[in-house]
Chains A and B, each alone.
Chain A
Amino acid sequence: MSSRSFINLRNWILVAVASVALGNASVVAGEVPIKAQLIWGTDGAKPDDKDFKELDPKVREKLRHLRWKNYWVVKAKTQDINDKEGKKFVLSEKCAVEFKELADDKLEVSLYTIKAGGAEKLVKTFPCSLAALKNGEYLILGGDDKEKWDDAWIVIITCGKVK
């Protein structure tokens, strides 16, 4: 093999390796695992007929600004989101959250309430920094429970892949 064709072959190998590396990098960079937990905040005890888990103490510490004694995990879901399409997490028969990655490492979080018959109604959209979530920050949405006095619903959103 002449030195010229060897250089050509080497260049082709370098290009191929770089393409594979960049391709993998784009897959890793494009997919972000987002975790959403629906929490029930109450001063009451856990109902016997429900299999709710107690909230992780580390996460509970983040709720120290709230006043309830008990925080039960109703549902937790982790899913990769990517920049191409929004991902909707149905957290209960009455609540869903949609995530959509925006430009500049931003994330749009839309909270939906699910009406009888399955019709969804947008409650509010919360823009947030995806970079902050990746750094371990917590986005917490909450409100007073309309059906049970003095209880609250809380949605805790974190990134499953913290830097």
Chain B
Amino acid sequence: MNTQELTLNLQAYVDGELDAAQRAEVEKCLAKDADARTLVTGLRQLSEILKQGEPVAKVSDTREFYWSQIQRRIQAQEKAQPRSTESVSTALSWLRWLVPAVGVAVVAVVVTLQHTAGSAAPAQKGLVENKGQTEAGSTVFRSESEGVTIHWLN
């Protein structure tokens, strides 16, 4: 085992990447070689220092709420975006069917109105009663452990 190969093996040994046979071979080298032992000690210390010094990444939001906010913004952008050409061509293809269908519907409505001319008032009343209030959508986040429920309006 040359010096470079030994160094790589020592690094892999410290990182726990060797199989049992390779580990035994490196340990045999370590028993004989003081420099190798020194290197292994140094590598272990370095590894510990790096672990302790590694900054902990913290975000102010919890994972669920963070992603729900992103989802909300994507949905808002999608609503705001103008229709693509694909959707326009789809709409035009629908128009071929829609125009005759609307014509038939108009005829049907006119005929129906003629038959129910005497009872126009109740029909209007029904329309007013069915007109409900449109409520805004919201994203809900709940933390059982903290006892918090958040409704974020879109």
| Bound pair (A, B) | yes
Chain A interface (Cβ < 8 Å from any Cβ of B): 62, 64-67, 111, 121-126, 128, 132, 135-143
A122 touches B147 (CB 8 A): no
Please, what's the 1-or-0 string for B110-154, where 1 marks a CB less than 8 Å from any CB in chain A? 000000000000000000000001011010010100111111111
9 sample A-B contacts, Cβ–Cβ < 8 Å, listed by A number: A65-B148, A66-B60, A121-B133, A122-B135, A124-B153, A125-B135, A138-B149, A141-B150, A142-B150
Contact of B135 among A62, A124, A135 (CB under 8 A): A124
**B5 → chain A closest CB, angstroms:** 51
Contacts of B149 in A (CB 8 A): 128, 137-140
Give the nearest-CB partner of B133 in chain A: A122
Give the nearest-CB partner of A64 in chain B: B60
Known: A65-B62, A123-B135, A125-B135. A140 touches B151 (CB 8 A): yes
A123 to B152, CA, bound (A): 12
In the complex, chain B residues 78-103 whose Cβ is within 8 Å of any chain A Cβ:
none
A116 to B62, CA, bound (A): 37
Contacts of B61 in A (CB 8 A): 65-67
A128 to B117, CA, bound (A): 47
B147 touches A140 (CB 8 A): no
Ranked 8 nearest A-B pairs via Cβ: A143-B153, A137-B147, A140-B150, A65-B65, A124-B135, A138-B148, A67-B60, A124-B136
A124 to B153, CA, bound (A): 9
Contacts of A137 in B (CB 8 A): 147-149
A140 to B150, CA, bound (A): 5
Please, what's the 1-or-0 string for B20-62, where 1 marks a CB less than 8 Å from any CB in chain A? 0000000000000000000000000000000000000000111
B147 touches A138 (CB 8 A): yes
A121 to B151, CA, bound (A): 18
A65 to B62, CA, bound (A): 6
Contact of B138 among A65, A121, A124 (CB under 8 A): A124
A65 touches B141 (CB 8 A): yes
B135 touches A65 (CB 8 A): no
A123 to B149, CA, bound (A): 18
In the complex, given contacts A62-B146, A65-B148, what are 7 additional A-B residue pairs having Cβ atoms less than 8 angstroms apart?
A65-B61, A65-B65, A67-B61, A124-B135, A126-B151, A132-B147, A136-B147
Contacts of B135 in A (CB 8 A): 122-125
A121 to B134, CA, bound (A): 10
Give the nearest-CB partner of B152 in chain A: A142
A142 to B60, CA, bound (A): 17
Contacts of B152 in A (CB 8 A): 142-143
